[in-house]
Structure 1
Amino acid sequence: MREFKKLEDVKDFKIDKERRFFSAQHEEIACGATTDIYFIKTLEILEHLGLAEKKVTAEVFPRRGGVLAGLDEVLNLLKDKDLEIWGLPEGETFESKETVLRIRGPYKELAVFETPLLGILASSCGWATAARECREAAGDKIFICFGARHVHPAVASVMERAAVIGGASGASCILAAKLLNLNPTGTVPHAAFLIAGDTLTISRAYDEVMPPDSPRIILVDTFKDEVEETLRVADLLKDKLDGIRLDTPSERGGVTPDLVKEVRALLNLKGYGHVKIFVSGGLTPEKIRVLSEAGADAFGVGSYISSASPIDMTMDVKEVDDKPVAKRGRLPGIIENHKLKRFK
């Protein structure tokens, strides 16, 4: 698929009538099919004027502070282009209007990719920043990203990868985990218990079927009181039980600090102090702090990360042929940032 360079390329671009999904394929992103049309018009006009080869320095800055993620995809997007690239390493924090990316080279090498480049950074940084807030709340305790079900599957792996960059201990999405050379992390949904009709049936089967390196963490809020179900499972699996998961729905008040305290106290009283308490369901940094203080050992976070607002990113051309330029309201010339690292 050839790169879009003029309006004729856009006109010739056809969509397969048998296309199964609406998300962009990798080749479509790489050729410019997801860009804004005005960049194609701009490129064609500059080519007509003989200016498309002009050397420019462009910088990207955010509208609010956060955590940098998405740079690896940006580098992949531009890897075959005649461009020099500096950026913040993934996982680095930034402030509002701080330069997070600098690109130098012929404008025609960059023009078509401004839209996808900014989109990659905006979404990834938003997700990573939300994950960092959860990490700060959880301290050194485990928290896993469970957000794949809340976003389009085309970006589920991007989101959960960004969450790990931001501080999540792992990802439940298989593709995201594999991209990070991690094992996907997760237990068993309520569906399994509802189909089997009894928590102990699933608990026993989980222990029999799952490999030894798969932690025995059992959901305990499907049928009975959470404390009662916790003790039933603990009596069944004993030392083999690694943890229980509390995911009490909002219709019943969600997981509360008092519930966590009660479960912890009864486990300790019955000699199951080794059993950890894993909490999930509508968690926010504030809830994580409170539940952690109550005795929760690990957390599964979904919608707080997946629904995080993108961090608006803006790209400005700051130099043309090494001469400082700027639109009205902006400062001409590059905005230095000593945290930038040369990547290309």
Structure 2
Amino acid sequence: MKEIKSLKDVKDFEIKKERLFYSATHEEIKCGATTDIYFIKTMEILRHLGVAGKRVVAEVFARKSGILCGLEEVLNLLKDKNIEIYAIPEGETFNPKETILRIIGPYEEFGIYETALLGILAQSSGWATAARECREAAKDKMFICFGARHVHPAVAPVMERAAIVGGASNASCILAAKILGRQPSGTIPHAAILIAGDTVTVAKAYDEIMPPDSPRIILVDTFKDEAEEALNVAEALKGALEGVRLDTPSERGGVTKELVNEVRHRLNQKGYKNVKIFVSGGLTPDKIRELSEAGADAFGVGSYISGASPIDMTMDIKMVDGVPVAKRGRIPGLIDNPKLKRVK
């Protein structure tokens, strides 16, 4: 796909009538179709003035602290360009106004990609930061990202990859896990039990037909009291049962520390101390800490990660032909950061 470099290119850019989804394709992102139009107008002006090829240094900083994510996509976006890129490592923490990315080269090589690269970093870093908060709350216990259902499918793998960069143990989205060279995590939804009509029936079928490496973790909140159903499933599967999942809806009070504590004690009393308790449903870092103390062993986190706000990113031109520059309110010249390493 031809790279968009001028207003004529914008005018000539056509969308296929049979387009199925409104998300940008890889080719559309790479050609510059997702940029703000004023960067194209900027290039028209700079070419007209004969200064589009001036060597500049641009720096990216964030408005608040977080975890950097999205760097690999930025490098893929700019991999064919005649520029140098310095960045802090993906997964590294950053502070407000800290330089997290520096680009050196002719402005015409990368100027039109400002919109895309800032969006990549802002959104991915927001997701990764939320995941890091969950990781700190869960400590060394497992937590899986369940957030794909809360975002557009085009970005679900991006979100779940960012969650893993931030500290999630794994992802439930098939594509996200495959991109990372993993197998996705997950067992069954309520739909299977509702259609079959009985939790124990589904649990037995799951144990019979699923491969050995598929964890035997069964939902126990669909029809009956969670503690009662946990024991029913444990009796049916015996030693094969690895865990029970509590996903009690908010209409029934959600998963509480009292519920987790009761299920844990009742399982222990019947000799099922090895059966883990997996909890999900509206979890936040505070809730994770609370349920972990009550006896929960693993967590499924969705909307707290998927709904995280992007971390506002800004890119400033700081040098032009070796001369320090800045807009009013900013200090001209480079803002050094010893964590920056050349990545391109």
In which range does the TM-score fall when normalised by the shorter chain? over 0.9
Q: Distance in 2 between matches of 1:66 and 1:187?
A: 32
| Structure-2 residue corresponding to 1:141 | 141
SS at match of 1:101: strand
Deviations 1:289-324 (A, max 9, x none): 000000000000000000000000000000001111
TM-score normalised by the chain length of structure 1: 1.00
Matching residue of 1:20: 20
Residue 153 of structure 1 aligns to a residue whose secondary structure is coil
User: What is the alpha-carbon distance in structure 2 between the residues aligned to residue 202 and residue 278 of structure 1?
Assistant: 18
The match for 2:306 is: 306
User: Paired residue for 1:86?
Assistant: 86
Query: CA separation in 2, counterparts of 1:25 and 1:69?
Result: 20
Work out the CA distance in 2 between the residues paired with 1:211 and 1:90.
35
Q: Which residue of 2 aligns with 1:319?
A: 319
Q: Return the offset for 1:88.
A: 1.1
Mapped pair 1:111 → 2:92: no
Equivalent residue letter for 2:202: I
Equivalence for 1:129: 129
What residue is the counterpart of 2:340 in the other structure? 340
| 1:232 to partner: Cα distance | 0.2
Q: Distance in 1 between matches of 2:263 and 2:118?
A: 46
1:284 corresponds to 2:279: no
> Secondary structure of the residue that 1:154 maps to in structure 2?
coil
Corresponding position of 1:196: 196
- 2:90 and 2:163 map into 1 onto residues whose CA distance is 11
Give the 3-state SS of the residue equivalent to 1:56 in structure 2.
strand
Which residue is 2:44 aligned to? 44
Write the letter of the residue equivalent to 2:306.
S
Match of 2:100 in 1: 100
Aligned to 1:247: 247
Q: Which residue is 1:229 aligned to?
A: 229
Q: Distance in 2 between matches of 1:5 and 1:255?
A: 54
Residue by residue, what CA displacement relative to the aligned partner does 1:202-261 show, whole Å, maximum 9, x if unpaired? 101100111001110000000000000000000000110000000000000000000000
Alpha-carbon RMSD across the aligned residues, in angstroms, is 0.4
Shift of 1:49: 0.8
Shift, 1:11, TM fit = 0.2
Corresponding residue of 1:179: 179
Q: Which 5+ residue runs of structure 2 have no aligned equivalent? A: none
Aligned to 2:76: 76
d(CA) in 2 for partners of 1:88, 1:219:
41
1:64 to 2:64 alignment: yes
Report deviation, 1:187: 1.2
- What is the one-letter code of the residue matched to 2:21? F
For these two proteins, the number of residue pairs brought into alignment is: 344
Question: What is the rounded CA distance, in whole Å, between the counterparts of 1:182 and 1:257 in structure 2?
Answer: 32
Q: Deviation string for 1:253-275 (max 9, x for gaps)?
A: 00000000000001111000000
